[in-house]
Amino acid sequence: MSNPGSPGESQGSGSPSTLKPYLRRKKSSLGETKIAVLGMAGVGKSALCVRFLTKRFIGEYDQASENKYKCTTILDAESVTFELLDTRSNNEDFGARDDVVRWADGFLMVYSVTSRKTFDVIPDTKRKLEEMKKAAHVPVVLVGNKADLAHARQVNQEEGARLAADMGCCFMEVSASEDVTRVVDAFHTLCKEIIDYKRRSRTFLDRVFGLKKS
Ligand SMILES: Nc1nc2c(ncn2[C@@H]2O[C@H](COP(=O)(O)OP(=O)(O)OP(=O)(O)O)[C@@H](O)[C@H]2O)c(=O)[nH]1
């Protein structure tokens, strides 16, 4: 994944010295990706984070804790560092607190396929995220977890796919307990969404910045 510009390279008609601070910010901010994992209590947020970070599944977690991790992964043959916030949620809220939404660049929105309640809250929460971010588009990947519990399923895959299409985001059913590959794919998909979104936003700023200098 190539960077659109490197320090010193002019992005418009500005002189290299005036552009450098801007480009340095652009390059660093493109590289800093922050992901928050949101979902109602018990959907498997911690299990998904730990599975992604350690490739292991651990059955039980400290429900009271909210953990932030810094990790590096390989995306399209490039090393990408990002921060991962495993949010804490109680029965009612979805973990989408102001500070979390301001901090994050993108969101893994998790429900459990064994709990319709955790699925039904997704659309309103996505709208809340967009309002709080004051953005028409917020990078999101919709994840239906616990797909291994076929006997307890309450939400089918087609419903998840339809909701994701309505929300304009990617969708994956995964199982933190059985399948590390799809869990990694879900995080990588969101990472790419965020980087592409930031790049598009930066391109817009480049145009504005270039116009200012002309
Ligand atoms: N069968 C199965 N169980 C899972 C899966 N993912 C999580 N669990 C179990 O579901 C329960 C809740 O998982 P957590 O990761 O603690 O869920 P959470 O969303 O972090 O919960 P809070 O911390 O309360 O917000 C635990 O008993 C996990 O072992 C899965 O893919 N399959």
Q: pLDDT tens, 44-93?
A: 999 999 999 988 777 666 666 678 999 888 888 888 888 999 988 765 66
Q: Of 33, 100, 29, give the one whose Cα is nearest residue 70.
A: 33
Which two three-digit tokens encode residue 44?
Answer: 């498997």
Chain centre distance of CA 52:
13
Domain limits, the chain: 28-209
Quote the ligand 1 centre to 130 CA distance (angstroms): 27
| ipTM, 2 dp | 0.98
CATH of domain 28-209: 3.40.50.300
Strands 67-75 vs 78-86: parallel, antiparallel or unpaired? antiparallel
Is residue 80 a contact partner of residue 189, using CB atoms and an 8 Å limit?
no
Is residue 140 a contact partner of residue 109, using CB atoms and an 8 Å limit?
yes
* Minimum-distance ligand 1 atom for the alpha carbon of 175: 31
Output the ligand 1 site: residues, CB below 6 A: 39, 41-47, 59-61, 63, 88-89, 145-146, 148-149, 175-177
Pocket test for ligand 1, best of 38, 40, 46, 145 (most atoms within 8 A of CB): 46
